[in-house]
Amino acid sequence: MDDLRNFTTTDVLLPPILDTDACMADLPRLLEPWDEAAAAPVVDCLSRARSHGGWHWPDRPVVFVSDPHADAEGFLRSLIAAGVIHRSKGRIGLTPFGRTAHIVLGGDALDKGPSNLALLDAIADVLDTGADVTILAGNHDLRMRLAIGSVRGERSALTEHLFVRMGRKILPALREVLTRFVMLEDIAALPPEDVCKARLMPGEDWSTRFATAARPELPAKVITKEIRKLEEKCAKFATDRARIGMTHRELLAALLKCHDIFLEPEGHYAWFFERMQAVARSGSLLFVHAGLCDDMARALVRDGVEAVNAAYARAAEGASLGFYFGPLANLVRTKYRASDCALTAAGVEVLNRAGLHMVVQGHVNNHAGQRLLAKRGLLHLEADITLDRASRALEGLDGIGAGATLIFPSGDVIGLSRDHPRAKHFAPERMAAH
């Protein structure tokens, strides 16, 4: 483990923050060694990295912030905490450090709350500063895209259930879109309530048609589970809809408007999905929302990151559950369950031989800062630190979340979170030297 004497000051590894709003008083400003780096499975990963050519670090700082889940303030405070932006009277700008950094938003911008649109507006404000930002897809972002796509075009057994399948968690976003973007004439142009309901809900014979149509795409076990899950969601949908206070006409109007603002080239938020990538690479690091499987490991090494991102973008348009449960979407939704696409020792070996030694991810939220652990023999850094207030309230965390993962060309990795008393420090090459 690194010499503890290195952790007594706030050196350049913790960039200065400009906190004119005095919102970061409880942000840690001292470093401590990352305890999990000494765990045997992590040490094994580091040993394999050394045996496969060692580490290659980004040529400039990377700031990874993940899973803001519709909490603009948590997102902005995280960038302030990382020393990337300053804010005064609601206006933000880049700091000198921010102008050198590459910001990676690790997915799941949407859902939960307090406001999806406020979060998107905050991201847009950061982009307007000239910041270098990569937006990764998360499973909640994908859910929104699939729900939007499900109500347009001809109905199909493979897609007509996707709004109910994906929609409960996006209902607050639809309420926001209804309030801000839907006009009275948009609703007036729609058919009666019962027709709109039929457009949103799967048909009575859907399960039979789906079982037949899905057979070429999905295993029988997955088809059976999907039908059962959809029955449960349909039974709860009326309650969910009543809670959000929207008619079926209003829901359909909001969904159609979402298509205009998110997926049309001139749409207000068209940049969000246009910019979205499934994976990013910098040196020995892969940035992805959830994780990998053997198929994606091989594709990334064989075809490169750009090709995988292009394939994801193509497949996400008009996608069915074959895509949702397949290797590409697995990048944004896996938790390495038996039902997920598998990452095995063979896939890890492919990555290691190509010089890829660590996955930096979101998706799995933590309550005491970031975590280092081996998953399927591959080093992962879990960087979802529970930013959004909805999750924090449910999980017993106070206030507004803030934190980021900073990765430097020197090979220093910093996990910063207001929910851990010190910033965690990991320097694998220096550890290897002791």
Percent above pLDDT 70 for the chain? 96
Q: Is 135 helix (H, G, I), strand (E, B) or coil?
A: strand
What is the per-residue burial (b if ≥16 Cβ within 10 Å, else e) of 247-263?
A: ebbbbbbbbbbbebbbb
DSSP tag of 340:
S
Work out the mean pLDDT of the chain and round it to a whole number: 93
57-91 residue pLDDT tens: 999 999 999 999 999 999 999 999 999 999 988 88
Element (DSSP H or E) covering residue 126: helix 116-128
Sign, CA torsion 73/75/76/77? positive
Per-residue pLDDT, 431: 67
Contact between 257 and 269 under an 8 Å Cβ cutoff? The reply is no
Q: What is the rounded CA–CA span in Å between residue 305 and residue 378? A: 18
CA distances from 311 to 51, 104, 271, 277, 340 (A): 32, 20, 18, 10, 19
The full DSSP string for 262-300 is IISTT-TTHHHHHH-BSEEEETTEEEESS---HHHHHHH
Per-residue pLDDT, 4: 35
Q: What is the rounded CA–CA span in Å between residue 172 and residue 169? A: 7
Q: Which two tokens stand for residue 183?
A: 């006009």
Residue 41 pLDDT grade (very low, low, confident, very high; cuts 50, 70, 90): very high
Q: Which two tokens stand for residue 384?
A: 């979802």
| pLDDT above 90 for 430 | no
Give the chain's radius of gyration (CA, Å).
Answer: 22
Q: What is the rounded CA–CA span in Å between residue 370 and residue 424? A: 8
Which residue would you say has higher pLDDT here, 125 or 153?
125
388-399 residue pLDDT tens: 999 999 999 999
Beta strands in 326-389 (DSSP E): 358-361, 371-375, 378-382
Per-residue pLDDT, 12: 63
The mean per-residue pLDDT over the stretch 103-116 comes to 94
Q: What is the rounded CA–CA span in Å between residue 356 and residue 52? A: 9
One-letter identity of residue 216: P
Q: What is the rounded CA–CA span in Å between residue 70 and residue 60? A: 28
Q: Which two tokens stand for residue 51?
A: 């045996």
CA distances from 254 to 21, 199, 234, 364 (A): 35, 13, 19, 30
Per-residue pLDDT, 20: 80
227-281 residue pLDDT tens: 999 999 999 999 999 999 999 999 999 999 999 999 999 999 999 999 999 999 9
The mean per-residue pLDDT over the stretch 311-316 comes to 94
Contact between 176 and 110 under an 8 Å Cβ cutoff? The reply is no
Per-residue pLDDT, 227: 95
- Closest Cα to residue 165, out of 238, 241, 76, 226? 226
Q: Which domains does the chain have, with CATH numbers?
A: 31-137+276-433 (3.60.21.10), 142-270 (no CATH)
Residues facing 132 on adjacent strands: 102
The mean per-residue pLDDT over the stretch 340-345 comes to 96
On the CB side of 246, CA atoms within 13 Å amount to 28
The CA-CA-CA angle for residues 125, 131, 134, to 5°, reads 95
Q: What is the rounded CA–CA span in Å between residue 56 and residue 2? A: 20
Contact between 395 and 367 under an 8 Å Cβ cutoff? The reply is yes
One-letter identity of residue 114: P
